Amino acid sequence: MPPLRERREDIPLLADHFLRLLAREMGMPKTRLRPEALAALERYDYPGNVRELKNLIERGLIESGGGEVGIEHLHFLGFFPRPLPGAAAGPSAGSADGAVTGHGGGAPEERILAFAREHGTISNHECRELLGVGMQRACYLLRKLHLAGRLEREHGRRWAQYRLPGTAHNGVKH
């Protein structure tokens, strides 16, 4: 059987199946995927094939609390859905969570990088304050940026600080 990325027409059916199955297993009412979430799922390449789709749906269902699953509930593990051939770049084409990049209300990752640019470093605590998120979400975002090579990590565990690559402790470029 060909990989899921070569059978994109199966994604809506499989996603609906997993959504119904998992909601029933978790004792949640039947819910649905918002159109922008389904569009993001259809653009994703699925290195983990069908099992990864199921995991994305399960995590999205948990994060939505049993409500409609939106793009903000889907976590693509650092990978971004790619545009479908011939598809126009829509509002969700820029990032996995569909947020618009920029200052202020932009994507969380861009806000973190802007803070690091302005202050030289960012800690988990500063990230939580900046975004108004919990410790796990802040750790996830900082680690994601670190693994993507967009931030360098200094120190470890509780005292970890992240800075832009090629900058000194005070934010000045080497």
pTM for the whole structure: 0.47
pLDDT, one tens digit per residue, over 17-72 is 999 999 888 888 889 999 999 998 998 888 788 999 999 998 888 888 878 998 88
Say which DSSP state 105 is in.
Answer: S
Q: Are 71 and 34 in contact (CB under 8 A)?
A: yes
Residue 102 lies in a domain: no
**In a domain? residue 139:** yes
Give the residue among 1, 38, 40 at the shortest CA–CA distance from 19.
38
Report d(CA 94, CA 102) in Å as an integer.
11
**Does residue 68 share a domain with residue 14?**
yes
Q: Considering the domain boundaries, does residue 23 fall inside one? A: yes
Is 98 part of a structural domain of the chain? no
Residues spanned by the domain of 133: 108-163
* CATH number where 60 lies: 1.10.8.60
Question: How far is the C-alpha of 73 from the C-alpha of 61, rounded, in Å?
Answer: 8
Helix axes 49-64, 35-43, angle to 10 degrees: 150
